[in-house]
């Protein structure tokens, strides 16, 4: 099983669209898709009020998506071609509690694609792509923390200068950068990069099994 993580520096920079785009472009990988949402302390809520992500009487919840209307993010994953899709909701800072159950849910999957930054604290992906949009000033602490782990950058070609305060892009200075002008969010170059890297890793694993 290969794991791909798609993160980004803020909300509404296209993380969900990148996940759906990769699923559609690389259907042969039989994806299980996961969206992770943390709520509370104003997170996932424009006005700081309780949002639809809140689980009520639990600190976390995992639900499997079955609707194919395309109205929710996880539904979009199924429409794009995912074999299964899950929505993980946790209170801010309580993601660790949901990880054992998530591991159980994705066990046996051929390949997994996850929309999250914070999951990198608990899973070691085969690829991590981060989505950056210079037109959005906010830069999440989780995106900053894991920037040096990015395998590649998907950069909005907005035409503006990158002027994030106290954020250094040196950790990704030598990484591939794929410029996008949405829509689409996944260019042929992005899909080729992800597909090639996963096929290379699959081939390496096959060689290791043969040698052993």
Q: How far is CA 99 from CA 89, 95, 139, 160, 169, in A?
A: 11, 7, 25, 38, 29
**pLDDT-based confidence at 212, cuts 50/70/90?**
low
Give the model's confidence band at 204: pLDDT under 50 very low, under 70 low, under 90 confident, else very high: confident
- pLDDT of 154: 97
The pLDDT assigned to 112 comes to 98
| The predicted structure's pLDDT at residue 52 | 57
Lowest mean pLDDT among 31-35, 113-117, 149-153, 164-168: 164-168
Is the distance from CB of 72 to CB of 65 less than 8 angstroms? yes
Per-residue confidence (pLDDT) for residue 21, from 0 to 100 = 98
Strand order in the sheet with 60-64: 60-64, 84-91, 31-39, 111-115, 2-8, 127-132, 152-156, 177-180
In this predicted model, what pLDDT tens digit does every residue of 128-156 receive, in sequence order?
Answer: 999 999 988 899 999 999 999 999 999 99
Which stretches of the chain are assigned E, i.e. beta strand? 2-8, 31-39, 60-64, 84-91, 111-115, 127-132, 152-156, 177-180
pLDDT, position 68? 94
Query: Residue 205: what pLDDT?
Result: 75
What is the tens place of the pLDDT at every residue in 42-84? 455 444 445 555 555 568 999 999 999 999 999 999 999 999 9
Dig out the tokens for 23 from the structure. 């699923």
Give the span between the Cα atoms of 116 and 111, in whole angstroms. 16
81-122 pLDDT tens trace: 999 999 999 998 899 999 999 999 999 999 999 999 999 999
- Residue 174 has a pLDDT of 94
């Amino acid at each position: 099983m290969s794991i791909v993580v798609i993160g980004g520096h803020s909300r509404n920079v296209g993380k969900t669209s990148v996940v759906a785009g990769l699923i559609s472009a690389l259907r042969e990988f039989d994806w299980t898709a996961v969206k992770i949402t943390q709520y509370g302390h104003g997170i996932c809520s424009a006005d700081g009020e309780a949002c639809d992500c809140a689980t009520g009487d639990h600190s976390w919840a995992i639900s499997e998506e079955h609707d194919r209307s395309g109205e929710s993010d996880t539904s979009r994953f199924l429409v794009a071609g995912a074999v299964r899709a899950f929505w993980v909701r946790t209170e801010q800072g309580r993601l660790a509690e949901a990880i054992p159950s998530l591991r159980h849910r994705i066990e046996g999957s051929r390949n997994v694609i996850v929309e999250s930054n914070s999951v990198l604290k608990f899973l070691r992906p085969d690829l991590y792509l981060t989505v950056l949009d210079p037109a959005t000033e906010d830069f999440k602490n989780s995106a900053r923390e894991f920037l040096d782990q990015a395998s590649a950058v998907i950069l909005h070609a907005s035409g503006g200068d990158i002027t994030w305060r106290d954020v250094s892009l040196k950790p990704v200075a030598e990484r591939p950068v794929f410029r996008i002008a949405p829509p689409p969010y996944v260019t042929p170059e992005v899909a080729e990069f992800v597909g090639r890297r996963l096929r290379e890793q699959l081939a390496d694993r096959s060689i290791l099994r043969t040698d052993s």
